[in-house]
Every structure is written in C-alpha cells, then in structure tokens.
C-alpha cells in the first residue's frame, strides 16, 4: 500500500478520498473541504473506495497506466455509494491537474522509452491488423451502441453550441456537429464524396440528404457496413449512398470531397505518409478534404497501455504538428484548423450516463467485467478532455487555395442554414431513446 499511499498523499489536496485497504486499514487523503464541482456530479462528502484483493494497491501503483482500470474491472477496487467510478477518476485527475502532477505517468527514461517503442509498434496498422483492430472495437453488438449513442450512432464528439452544454440534448448536439462539419467542406449539390471510416453511415446519409451528394462510405467492421447498407436501403437511397467493406488504401476513383471523421486515430503515425499520399491521389485538383479527430493539445506522445489493450488496439491520438507536417510533404495545404476543447467531455459524460442507465441490459449482453471496463473507458476518456490535454482537431485540406472562399464566414452561414433544415423531428427518435427519456 505504501506506493499508492505515497502518490495519494501528494496528489489529493482538495476534497477527501478515503481508502479501505484489503486488510481493513483505513487511509484518508485531503483536507476534507470540498467545493461544488462537476467532477463529482455535485455529490458532497468524501469519496470512499475499498480494495478487495491483497494485490490491488500494488497493482495500481506499479502499473499506473493499466492498474486502476484493471482493478476496477476485476472488482479489486470498489467505489462506495453515493459516488461511482466516474466520480473517483475525475476527482483524482482534477487534484493531479491542480498539482501539476505527473505521477501517473511512467517513471524513468528506460520505462518511458519502452512504452514509446511498444506504442509505436502497436500503431503499425497493415491491412490485416487494421481490419482486426477495427473489428475489436466496432464489431461489438449493435445493441451495445444503441444503448449509449444517439439514434444516428455518431461515435465521435458532439458539438455543444450553448454556453451551458447541459441544456442541449446529445441528439441535437450531434445534429449540430454534422452541420458544423459539412459547412466546412464547402459542398455543392451533386458532388461526389468519399467518407473514410464511415462508422454507422450517419454523416454520409446526412450529406446526401442536405446536398444530394453521391457518397461512398468505407470502413473495416462488417456489422457497421451491414448496418449502413440496411439504413440506405430503408431510406431508398442505396443507389446514391453506397457503403463498402474495404480499406481506404484500396479505394480508387476521383472525388470532389473527402471526409474522415474519427479515422486518423486508427491510421497509425507510421502510415500517415501513405494516408496523405493516397487521399491526395483520390481528390480532384479543386477538391477539399476535411478531417475530424481526437488530438493532443501539446507535443506528440503515445497511447496509454490500458486503452491500447482493451479499447483501441493500434490507436493513437495525434498532435497537430504531426497532422500538418506529414500532410505538407504530399501536396496538401492546410487552410483551416479548429481546436474543439471541452465538447467531447460533455459527450462522454452523456455516453457514460446512458451506459449506466442500461447496466442490466449491457451486463446481460456481455458480463460484469465488460460493463465495468466500458464504464472505466468512458470516464477515463472524459477526464482526458476535461482535466487532461486532449482536444478534437478539425482541419480543412486543399490542393489549390481557390477551392474555398476567402473568409471563414461561409462556414457560419452554411452551418446556420443546415441547422435550420436539420431540426430533429419527433419521428427521428428510436424506441431506445424514447424509453430513456420517459
């Protein structure tokens, strides 16, 4: 316990955390004073956790990037009511942020170097491994994603336009996100669009609905593509909005616009040259490419071991420098960059709340360990965008600077028009969301 005790004694300077070790001994950290904070959902009082396995404290302290998540998954760490794992994760990271602490990161040059090397090898996404990695994350049962995403299954950051994000529904924020992205692409009716990493097809369907575009969506998860085809068929647009189970590197043809939403996190830095070279070949000379991805607000780094192991194998969240310098080498000009800061933290909180609301159903689909893993993933990701250095990058790439208007006003004007047309009617809500609302 002494290693964990050492870290917590240094880190907890606000509020109070009480830890009961496996042997029943109680440790208290922090002054006990507490200011209202969204980190613990407004619930006052000390956060209490129990360590139920004699290996728990040592596992958490010795393997900081995996230990806490695994201890929670295996029920070696239990958070006592009225708080939950989200409260604990955000509480500890909020304290660490105020302290400027780096104790949760690898210590020593050798360990740091080894983690960096392992992460880089894990980011090699050849065609075979890319397909396997995509299926690991995105080929989970449809019913799982129905339980926590909006009905359109947007599995990326929602866009909260109001000063108080809690006053905007997830459904509306995702509609506003699609309008925000589409407006940046400067699309004209009837254009041919390639949507790389199309997910469950929502953005491709949206572009066709708003502009009459002919869209090709590609992804590597079989169930995602099957779902996309089903919804295009049901909407009667399968002749205009097509979906293929294929690697973007195998796409051929020429397109007016290219979009990639939540895709670059799965490409791997070693493959950025291949990505930018191939997309440059696919885009017309006067075309526009739009990219939306999670990003680092600072310098390049590496993906933490727990996320690589359990959630996004082969994944890496890029720094802006990596996205810009790599693209420049293959004829791209970056015309617009926007850093979306806290939007994803509110999105992830909503996903977490919906996951908890459907605990029994998700546990029945999988098991208790999977449910706790998913909880930890969502609240851990939220803290990265709330207390850490993660943002979302939105970039507009062109080959020719005349491809977009001279000022950014076109984005705001077009976004407003799309939002006016894209009001969510009652019929768009599925049974799951309607039952949740009730």
Q: Identify the architecture of domain 2-99 in CATH.
A: 2-Layer Sandwich (3.30)
| pTM listed for this prediction | 0.89
Is the pLDDT confidence value at 58 over 90? Answer: yes
CA 403, CA 127: separation in Å to the nearest integer?
32
In the predicted model, what is the mean pLDDT of the chain? 87
DSSP code string of 295-347: EESSS-----HHHHHHT-TT--PPBHHHHHHHHHTTT-EEEEEEEE-SHHHHH
CA 213, CA 240: separation in Å to the nearest integer?
7
Per-residue pLDDT tens digits for 116-159: 544 454 555 555 555 554 444 545 788 999 999 999 999 999 99
CA 30, CA 387: separation in Å to the nearest integer?
19
The predicted pLDDT at position 84 comes to 96
Is the pLDDT confidence value at 377 over 70? Answer: yes
Q: Give the model's confidence band at 427: pLDDT under 50 very low, under 70 low, under 90 confident, else very high.
A: very low
Per-residue pLDDT tens digits for 154-171: 999 999 999 999 999 999
Q: What is the CATH number of domain 127-437?
A: 3.40.50.150
Per-residue pLDDT tens digits for 263-276: 999 998 889 999 99
Is the pLDDT confidence value at 99 over 70? Answer: no
Q: Give the model's confidence band at 341: pLDDT under 50 very low, under 70 low, under 90 confident, else very high.
A: very high
**Domain range annotation of the chain:** 2-99, 127-437
The predicted pLDDT at position 42 comes to 59
Give the burial class of 381: count Cβ atoms within 10 A of its Cβ; 0-12 exposed, 13-18 middle, 19 or more buried.
buried
Which residues, at least 6 apart from 259, have a Cβ–Cβ distance to it below 8 Å?
Answer: 181, 185, 193, 194, 195, 196, 203, 207, 289, 290, 291, 292
């Amino acid at each position: 316990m002494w290693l964990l005790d050492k870290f917590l004694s240094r880190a907890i300077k606000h509020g109070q955390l009480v830890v009961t070790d496996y042997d029943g001994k109680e440790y208290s950290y922090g002054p006990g004073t507490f200011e209202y904070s969204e980190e613990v959902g407004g619930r006052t009082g000390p956060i209490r956790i129990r360590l139920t396995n004699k290996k728990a404290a040592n596992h958490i302290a010795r393997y900081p990037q995996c230990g806490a998540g695994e201890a929670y998954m295996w029920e070696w760490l239990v958070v006592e009511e009225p708080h939950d794992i989200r409260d604990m994760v955000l509480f500890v990271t909020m304290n660490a942020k105020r302290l400027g602490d780096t104790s949760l990161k690898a210590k020593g040059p050798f360990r740091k170097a080894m983690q960096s090397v392992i992460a880089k090898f894990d980011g090699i996404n050849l065609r075979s491994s890319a397909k396997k990695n995509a299926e690991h994350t995105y080929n989970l049962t449809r019913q799982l994603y129905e339980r926590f995403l909006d009905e359109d299954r947007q599995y990326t950051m929602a866009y909260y336009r109001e000063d108080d994000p809690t006053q905007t529904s997830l459904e509306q924020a995702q509609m506003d996100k699609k309008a925000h992205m589409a407006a940046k692409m400067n699309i004209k009716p009837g254009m041919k669009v390639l949507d790389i990493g199309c997910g469950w097809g929502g953005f491709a369907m949206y572009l066709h609905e708003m502009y009459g575009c002919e869209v090709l969506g590609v992804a590597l998860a079989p169930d995602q593509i099957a779902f996309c085809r089903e919804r295009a068929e049901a909407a009667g647009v399968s002749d205009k909005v097509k979906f293929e189970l294929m690697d973007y590197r195998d796409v051929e043809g020429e397109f007016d616009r290219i979009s990639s939403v939540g895709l670059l996190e799965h490409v791997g830095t070693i493959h950025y040259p291949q990505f930018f070279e191939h997309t440059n070949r696919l885009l017309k000379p006067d075309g526009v490419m739009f990219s939306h991805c999670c990003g680092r607000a600072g310098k390049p780094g590496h993906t933490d071991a727990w996320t690589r192991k359990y959630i996004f194998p082969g994944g890496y969240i890029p720094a802006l420098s990596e996205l810009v310098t790599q693209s420049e080498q293959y004829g791209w000009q970056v015309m617009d960059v926007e850093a979306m800061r806290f939007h994803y933290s509110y999105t992830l909180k909503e996903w977490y709340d919906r996951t908890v609301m459907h605990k029994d159903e998700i546990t029945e689909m999988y098991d208790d360990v999977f449910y706790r893993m998913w909880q930890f993933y969502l609240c851990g990701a939220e803290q990265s965008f709330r207390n850490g250095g993660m943002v979302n990058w939105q970039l507009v790439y062109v080959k020719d600077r005349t491809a977009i208007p001279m000022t950014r006003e076109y984005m705001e004007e077009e976004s407003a028009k799309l939002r006016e047309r894209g009001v969510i009617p009652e019929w768009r809500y599925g049974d799951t969301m309607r039952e949740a609302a009730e």
